[in-house]
């Protein structure tokens, strides 16, 4: 271990990925534990990331006429049970409230693990005619699911998310909505998170039980494990039949409405860390970075240097999220801290820079230093941020490409799995999936829209009917 490591106390990523992840989360002050296991505290630096995701999504959802709402935290047990299929996965995890102070409630309440039933009940009451459709509601809130194991950002008893709930007159329109949202999630990855998501339908076994079709976006972490990063469901008429969400169509016929629901959560922050982070800590893609640029005067006692730093701050802070580091600490500590926090760009200004009319720029994601004429700064910054974003996206895409395998036999599958990563195999639906999960721990991530690799499923020896992307997953 080198000295720098000892200062930062972040484990080496290749030695113990799990410990590295925890270290990075805690030391960079993104998140912390509370006194209830599995309930986390989102600290300013971590919550700012969530606010950036909210901003991006709100802008995009507004363009497509989605409306933000807020539905209650609780609903009755009776309502919860109205759609039987979807509660299958949630009932054992649901928080039940039976008492207020010392008084027992006449009917038990459930803290929302997801809100399909609440939205459905409202829609059933309000939708009368095809003219009332579509309804495109979204809410930002927290939900509670009593997960047994917990991991910072990735799996917690309470997490923050957005849940969209829409109603449409036809199957085509609803399917289109769930597909459009899937593409929006991919856009979020491409433009904000610098994460290339693989997307596709979930298999029957892995889909949301309340849905006809579940689409999902999957991300590949640095350690080769996959992470389900968001889902978009076509619910069909499952809920509308259970809740009687009907409308009169243009021919005065009564029809059941078609619904979708979709969500992304604070898991995305976990993905951001695990995809981009390195031995020095976080690496923030520039468009989501809460601090995009940090300005550091190299000689704190040199008035000219400090003055110049302030001047640069003024010039940049109208267009970028900038900080100036005037802490009374040594430069090494400061640099180390900026790197831990993953700030994309550090501008160093010292006596030498002043003399030469130039600036030293440290670029976090590839640890390079460049010199820049001061007069070119305002012109260069947007180009530089764009280049950083593109390079980070490309690096993450290369990682996916270099860790995606194709298996024609089950042995090949198992060999690839030792290296981790994505493995494509053509299989005979559920049966193969169950064997694979039991024997190797890998799960079906998505069904790929690709031709069959083999005619016969190598696991079951039956006729293969789909090509599936497998991986070990968080």
Peptide bond into 134 cis (omega under 30): yes
- Minimum distance between the CB of residue 68 and a second copy, rounded to whole angstroms? 5
For the window 15-54, what string marks contact with a second copy as x by the rule CB under 8 A?
A: -----------------x-xxx--xxxxxx--xx-xx---
**Binds a second copy (CB under 8 A): choice among 121, 166, 228, 259:** 121
Which tokens in the block code for residue 194? 């610098």
* Cα gap 83→240, rounded to integer Å: 9
Nearest to 62 by CA among 171, 210, 162: 162
- Minimum distance between the CB of residue 2 and a second copy, rounded to whole angstroms? 27
* Cα gap 471→423, rounded to integer Å: 6
Establish if 137 lies at the interface with a second copy (CB under 8 A).
yes
Stretch that binds a second copy, among 101-109, 178-186, 251-259, 333-341 (CB under 8 A): 101-109
Q: Choose between 85 and 366: whose C-beta lies nearer to a second copy.
A: 85
Residues 153-172 that bind a second copy (CB under 8 A): 158, 160
* Cα gap 179→188, rounded to integer Å: 14
Chain center to CA of 135: 25
**Binds a second copy (CB under 8 A): choice among 10, 52, 133, 144:** 144
Stretch that binds a second copy, among 73-81, 400-408, 413-421, 453-461 (CB under 8 A): 73-81
Which tokens in the block code for residue 56? 């991006």
Q: Choose between 135 and 308: whose C-beta lies nearer to a second copy.
A: 135
Q: Choose between 253 and 327: whose C-beta lies nearer to a second copy.
A: 327
Which tokens in the block code for residue 358? 């130039």
CA distances from 180 to 64, 171, 377, 392 (A): 10, 14, 39, 25
For the window 369-408, what string marks contact with a second copy as x by the rule CB under 8 A?
A: ----------------------------------------
Q: Choose between 9 and 376: whose C-beta lies nearer to a second copy.
A: 9
Burial readout 341-368 (b: 16 or more C-beta within 10 A, e: otherwise) = bbbbbbbbbbeebbeeebbbbbbbbeee
Stretch that binds a second copy, among 95-103, 227-235, 242-250, 413-421 (CB under 8 A): 95-103
**Binds a second copy (CB under 8 A): choice among 3, 6, 100, 252:** 100
Burial readout 88-123 (b: 16 or more C-beta within 10 A, e: otherwise) = eebeeebeeeeeeeeeeeeebbbbbbbbbbbbbbbb
- Minimum distance between the CB of residue 428 and a second copy, rounded to whole angstroms? 34
Q: Choose between 61 and 396: whose C-beta lies nearer to a second copy.
A: 61
| Alpha helices, DSSP H, located in 218-300 | 238-243, 267-276
Establish if 109 lies at the interface with a second copy (CB under 8 A).
yes
* Cβ atoms of 231 and 262 closer than 8 Å: yes
**Binds a second copy (CB under 8 A): choice among 111, 300, 363, 435:** 111
* Cβ atoms of 129 and 248 closer than 8 Å: yes
Q: Choose between 304 and 330: whose C-beta lies nearer to a second copy.
A: 330
Binding site for a second copy (CB under 8 A): 32, 34-36, 39-44, 47-48, 50-51, 67-76, 79, 91-102, 109, 111, 118, 121-122, 137, 141-142, 144, 146, 158, 160
């Amino acid at each position: 271990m080198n000295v720098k490591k000892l200062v930062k106390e972040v484990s080496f990523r290749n030695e113990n990925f799990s410990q590295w992840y925890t270290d990075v989360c805690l030391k960079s002050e993104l998140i912390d534990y509370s006194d209830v296991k599995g309930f986390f505290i989102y600290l300013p630096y971590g919550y700012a990331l969530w606010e950036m995701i909210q901003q991006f999504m709100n802008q995009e959802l507004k363009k497509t006429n989605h409306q933000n709402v807020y539905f209650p935290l609780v609903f009755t047990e009776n309502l919860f049970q109205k759609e039987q299929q979807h509660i299958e996965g949630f009932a054992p995890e649901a928080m039940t409230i039976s008492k207020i102070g010392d008084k027992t409630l006449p009917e038990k309440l459930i803290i929302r693990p997801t809100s399909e039933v609440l939205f459905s009940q409202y829609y059933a009451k309000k939708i009368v005619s095809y003219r009332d459709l579509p309804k495109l509601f979204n809410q930002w809130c927290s939900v509670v699911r009593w997960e047994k194991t917990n991991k910072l950002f990735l799996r917690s008893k309470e997490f923050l998310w957005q849940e969209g709930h829409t109603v449409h007159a036809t199957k085509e329109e609803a399917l289109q909505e769930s597909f459009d949202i899937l593409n929006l999630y991919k856009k979020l990855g491409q433009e904000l998170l610098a994460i290339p998501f693989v997307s596709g339908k979930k298999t029957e076994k892995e889909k949301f039980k309340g849905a006809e079709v579940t689409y999902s976006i999957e991300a590949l972490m640095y350690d080769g494990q996959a992470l389900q990063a968001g889902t978009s469901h076509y619910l069909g008429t499952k809920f509308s039949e259970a809740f009687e969400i009907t409308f009169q169509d243009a021919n005065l016929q009564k029809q059941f409405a078609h619904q979708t629901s979709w969500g992304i959560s604070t898991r995305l922050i976990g993905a951001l860390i695990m995809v981009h982070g390195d031995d020095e800590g976080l690496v923030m893609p520039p468009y989501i970075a809460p601090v995009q640029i940090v300005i550091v005067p190299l000689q704190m006692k040199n008035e000219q240097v400090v003055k110049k730093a302030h001047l640069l701050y003024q010039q940049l802070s109208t267009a970028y999220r900038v900080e100036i580091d005037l802490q009374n600490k040594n430069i090494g500590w400061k640099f180390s801290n900026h790197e831990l926090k993953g700030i994309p760009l550090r501008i160093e200004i010292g006596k030498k820079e002043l003399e030469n009319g130039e600036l030293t720029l440290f670029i976090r994601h590839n640890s390079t230093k460049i010199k820049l004429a001061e007069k070119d700064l305002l012109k260069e910054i947007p180009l530089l941020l764009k280049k950083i974003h593109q390079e980070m996206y490309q690096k993450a895409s290369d990682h996916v490409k270099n860790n995606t395998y194709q298996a024609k036999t089950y042995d090949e599958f198992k060999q690839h799995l030792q290296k981790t990563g994505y493995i494509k195999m053509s299989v005979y639906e559920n049966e193969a999936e169950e064997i694979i999960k039991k024997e190797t721990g890998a799960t079906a991530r998505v069904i790929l829209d690709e031709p069959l690799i083999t005619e016969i499923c190598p696991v079951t020896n039956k006729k293969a009917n789909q090509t599936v992307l497998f991986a070990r997953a968080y």
